[in-house]
Chains A and B, each alone.
Chain A
């Protein structure tokens, strides 16, 4: 998650203080990992320097920064461009699952047992996410859906790879 573009997007709704931006970021995008205040203000400072936001005058009140920030036309353009770009389809599997299966086969270790363990772990995670969907707010439901579809794709890959293990074992030995 890119913090600068997300803060810009939040500012496109309406001019806001750093505190409000942090609160909204944590609520919608933090997912348990809060954005430090320092990072919020450092990011806003860079965005102001680059002409993507304008900082208003300091307002009286507690806290380190009581400036209200507003998005500029350049900032809006950045948000539009970002929204118009598809995310790079990441080949998640090739990083860990693929490496584990291939190495297991290369080392003559039980790749199928590993795949079965992985399948079980995936299904358990899907059960947890499904439970979360039943009780959580819609924002959590959408995020859980995204995770569920990815896990489902992994599971299909696991099934297909299980069916191809003998073939794959031959390929990695040669």
Chain B
């Protein structure tokens, strides 16, 4: 089993020997990852390497077949479905490739919606939405339907929506995948700067090395195993993934 690099800060999310298969096809084969508090952590890998499966396991969306996923020391996989849903709704924010916004609603509605679901008062929810849209540089788009926004603007709404919840972790799956280079860069820049300001941990999956380069550490997933690359130390060479264990 591989030995992943350990973050400088304390562990917030951890995958320990996680296995996950879909039918007869194994996606993760004993993956280990430790993500620190406040860290920007990128997961890279070729198509079918298991990188999105790993993100979904870390976010409590998939339940591992074996192994543990710990969040703040608690085993997410041992929680009831209701508890996991609550955890996802209160502690996690999500940004996906195509935003997954409600196109018929305005940008402000989309950002306020998860807050309203968490029983934030309407006035407070919309004030918070306005603040975050401003911080993402799209304060003037609050009244526009998200279906009418450009890809970059919509993705900024998605980032605002994720950050407005003040989550402990943002999970981002190919957040720049549908954007041109410059727009993608702006979205990554805003997301990482604002997340750092808030002390929010970001776990992002990307096939794009330039997007991954915004991270403090980068994990490479290959054949369902993980090796991690630090900003300062190369740790990949001795990992099982590096040896091509499958």
Residues of A within 8 A of B (CB): 112-113, 116-117, 119-124, 126-127, 129-130, 134, 148-149, 151-152, 155, 159, 163
For the complex, give the distance between the alpha carbons of A112 and B234 in Å.
Answer: 15
- B residues touching A (Cβ–Cβ < 8 Å)? 44, 46, 189, 193, 208-210, 212-215, 218, 220, 227, 229-232, 234-237, 239, 241-244
Cβ of A116 and Cβ of B231 under 8 Å apart? no
Nearest chain-B residue to A134 (Cβ)?
B189
Q: Which of B193, B234, B239 has the most CB atoms of chain A within a 10 A radius of its CB?
A: B234
Minimum Cβ distance to chain A for residue B245 (Å): 11
CA distance A111 to B215 in the complex (A): 27
B209 and A151 contact, CB distance less than 8 A: yes
B215 touches A127 (CB 8 A): yes
Are B242 and A112 neighbours in the complex by a CB distance under 8 Å? Answer: yes
A112 proximity list for chain B (CB < 8 A): 242-244
**CB-contact partner of B243 in A113, A124, A148, A152, under 8 A:** A113
Decide: A117 near B237, CB < 8 A? Known: A112-B242, A152-B210. Answer: yes
CA distance A149 to B210 in the complex (A): 8
| A-B contacts besides A116-B236, A126-B213, A152-B209, 7 pairs, CB < 8 Å | A116-B227, A120-B229, A120-B234, A123-B212, A124-B229, A124-B232, A124-B234
Alpha-carbon separation in the docked complex, A122 to B212 (Å): 12
Q: How far is the CB of A159 from chain B (nearest CB, A)?
A: 6
Question: Can you list 17 residue pairs at the A/B interface with Cβ under 8 Å?
Answer: A112-B243, A116-B227, A117-B234, A119-B236, A120-B236, A120-B237, A124-B231, A124-B232, A124-B234, A126-B209, A127-B213, A127-B214, A127-B215, A129-B213, A148-B213, A151-B209, A152-B209
